[in-house]
A = this chain, B = another copy of it.
Amino acid sequence: MAVIDDVARLAGVSKATASRALSGRGSVADATRQRVLKAAAALDFRASPAAVSLATGRTGAIGVLAPAIDTWYVSTLLRGIAEAALAHDLDIVLYDLGRGAAMRERVFERFLQRHHIDALISTTFALTHREVSRLASIGIPAVALGDGAAGVRSWCLDDERAGTLATEHLLSLGHRRIVHVGGSTVLDESLFAAERLRERGYQRAMRAAGLEPMPTLLHDPTADASYSHALELLRSPDRPRAVFAATDEIAMGILLAARTLGLRVPFDLSVVGVDDHAYAAAFDLTTVRQDPREHGERVVDWLVADLAAPSGDTTHTLIDPELVPRGSVAPA
C-alpha cells in the first residue's frame, strides 16, 4: 500500500510538496501539482485516516447519539443523515443509548472523549448541561434533533403545536371527550421529551375550548405494546370516542385493537396521531406530519458548515407542523 513518500518520490518532489499538492493547501506550481496527482493515481494512493487525523485533529466522522435505533423516527432520521454524510465524504459513527439511560454516562465518557469524531448529532433527547459543556470543552460542535437543549443548535417539530393541532382537529368535528395517549412509561424520562410537549399541546387546546383535559394514558410508544394497552382502554364501557395518540406507532396499536374488538373506525372511534409514519397511509390514519429524513440531511449540512467556519449558533428552530387528513376521524 503506497504512502505519501512513494508518491513524492515518483513525482520527483518532496513529501511536503506532495502533501500540499494533494490536500490543496499552500501554494504549488500547476505543473508540479499535475505530476503529483498523476503519481498518486498511478500508485492508487490513499491517505491514512489515522495519520491525517493525528496531524490535523480532524477525523472526518460525525457521531450520532440515539436511543432506540429500531424506532421509526430514529431509523428514518439515520437514513437521511447517512445519505447526507456520504455526500460530504463523512463517516458516521453510531452510538446507541438503548432504551434507557443506563448506558448514557458510559457512552459519553468512553467514546465521545478525545476526538473520535468531529461533531455530534443527538436525537430524541436533550443533552444535559454537563454534557453540553463537556462537548464544548473538547471542541466538538453539536446539534440536537427532535429535542432541544440549552447551548446547542437544534431543529425539531413544534411538538406542542402539533398537539394542539391534532386536538383542535378533533374538537372542530364536535368531539368533546378526547383522550390523550402518550409514551414513556418504560423509557427514561430524560428521553423523548417531545411526548410531554405534545401532551401539553393537547391540554392547551382542551382548555382553550373550555374543556377539562383528561388524564394522559401512558404507553410504551411502540405499536406492539400499545396494542395490548389499547385493548383494555377500548374494552371499558365508557370508552373514548376520540383519541389523540402522541405517535403514529401508538395510534396504530389503537387501530389494531379497535379492529380486534370489532369497532369501526372512524364511526365508533376517531384517532389522530403524530409522525406520518411510513405505514400511516396504509392505516388510513389522520396524523400530523414530520419528515425525519429531511431533518437528518439538514443538520448534516449545518454541521459541515459549522466545521468549516464555527458559527456559535445556538438557536432552536421549530418546524411548523402540518395536519394530514385521512380517514381515521369522523364527526362526533
Contacts and interface: CB of A to CB of B under 8 A. Distances in A.
B114 A1 contact: yes
For chain A, which range describes its interface: under 10, 10 to 19, 20 to 34, or 35 or more residues? 35 or more
Contacts of A79: 68-70, 96
A257 B284 CA distance: 10
Interface in A69-115: 69-72, 74-76, 78-79, 82-83, 86, 89, 91-96, 98, 103, 106-107, 110-111, 113-115
A302 interface: no
Interface in A211-258: 222-224, 227, 252-253, 256-257
B115 A48 contact: yes
A208 interface: no
Given A82-B69, A106-B86, A278-B224, A93 B96 contact: no
A92 B94 contact: yes
A91 B69 contact: no
12 contacts: A50-B54, A50-B59, A54-B54, A70-B72, A74-B75, A79-B96, A82-B95, A86-B95, A86-B103, A91-B93, A223-B278, A260-B284
B82 A115 contact: no
Q: How many copies of this chain sit in the oligomeric assembly?
A: 2
A38 interface: no
10 pairs of A and B residues whose beta carbons are closest in the complex: A82-B96, A227-B282, A50-B53, A75-B75, A50-B54, A70-B75, A70-B79, A46-B114, A256-B282, A93-B93
